Amino acid sequence: MSYDREGQVVTGMYLGEHWCVGTVTESRVKYGGRVQHTVELLDPLILPYTTPAANRTRVLLDEEELVHD
């Protein structure tokens, strides 16, 4: 199984509570062997509990945070 997902559209759970959909722009293996993806979001993610409210257009998701069909 290849963990290089560059160019794929993925769905994932950011910070355990925010659903997001976007395109993987980079995949890398972190120290310890875990795979992490940089995801450019299709729609900005608004985090209202930050000061000031943050609009995320890109997030980092581990392979385990992605939803697989």
Query: What's the whole-model pTM score?
Result: 0.87
CB 56 within 8 A of CB 42: no
pLDDT of the residue at 3? 81
Quote the DSSP letter at residue 64. Answer: G
Query: What residues pair up with 27 in beta bridges, in sequence order?
Result: 37
Residues 59 and 22: their CA atoms lie apart, in Å, by: 9
pLDDT of amino acid 66:
94
1-52 residue pLDDT tens:
468 899 999 999 998 889 999 999 999 999 999 999 999 999 999 887 777 7
Neighbour-count burial of 52, counting CB atoms closer than 10 A to its CB (0-12 exposed, 13-18 middle, 19+ buried): exposed
- Give the pLDDT score at 69: 59
For residue 32, give every residue at least 6 positions away whose Cβ sits within 8 Å of its Cβ, in sequence order, or none. none
Q: What is the model's pLDDT at position 50?
A: 74
pLDDT at residue 2, rounded to an integer: 63
